[in-house]
Amino acid sequence: MTVLSTNSIRVLDIKYGTSVDGVGLRTSIYCAGCENRCVGCHNPQSWDERGGEPIEVEELFRLVEDADMNVTFTGGDPMFHPEGFTRLAQMIKERTRKTIWCYTGYRFEDLMRSESRRALLEKCDVVVDGRYVEAERDLTLHFRGSRNQRIIDVPRSLEAGEVVLVENV
């Protein structure tokens, strides 16, 4: 795994006004790099950590701040290189009232055991966790592709000391 600077994130795309990456209209930041390489992944071009273009965290924050929408971190996998996203999430939380969703192939329990990944996790409102499993694909699900993936209320989970799922999504 390449260690990226906390000052930039390799971005493949930014989508404004998407409604597929969380509740409501969102600004979704698609990052480069994912080691999970799930069979059937809808975004395999995101696996290469050298893909996309590096964008300074401050510039990403300005783009997010200017958009009148909440934010989603996706990819690739933001937890593959969490340092820049943690810095961005901190800026969002300190300077706006926006919610942050984060998509990751890692399980919540594993994120909790990694200091750098937990730091990002703690800044998120919702995490959709778990690898995409093609055998569990379900097109009726909202905001996830396979039944094994969970939509987790991060603050409530941290308070409870166990995974608390988001209800009614």
- Can you give the pLDDT at residue 2? 46
Enumerate residue ranges in the chain where pLDDT < 50. Answer: 1-3
Instruction: Indicate whether 107 belongs to any domain.
Output: yes
pLDDT of residue 5: 58
Give residue-wise pLDDT tens across range 33-68: 998 888 888 787 888 788 899 999 999 999 999 999
What tokens does 49 get?
């950590």
CATH (domain of 39)? 3.20.20.70
Model pTM score: 0.93
Q: Does 167 reside within a domain?
A: no
**Is 2 part of a structural domain of the chain?**
no
59 domain residue, yes or no: yes
Domain that residue 93 falls in: 8-160
Six-digit token string for 75: 């990819």
Could you tell me if residue 152 is inside a domain?
Answer: yes
Report if residue 25 sits inside a domain. Answer: yes
- Count structural domains, the chain: 1
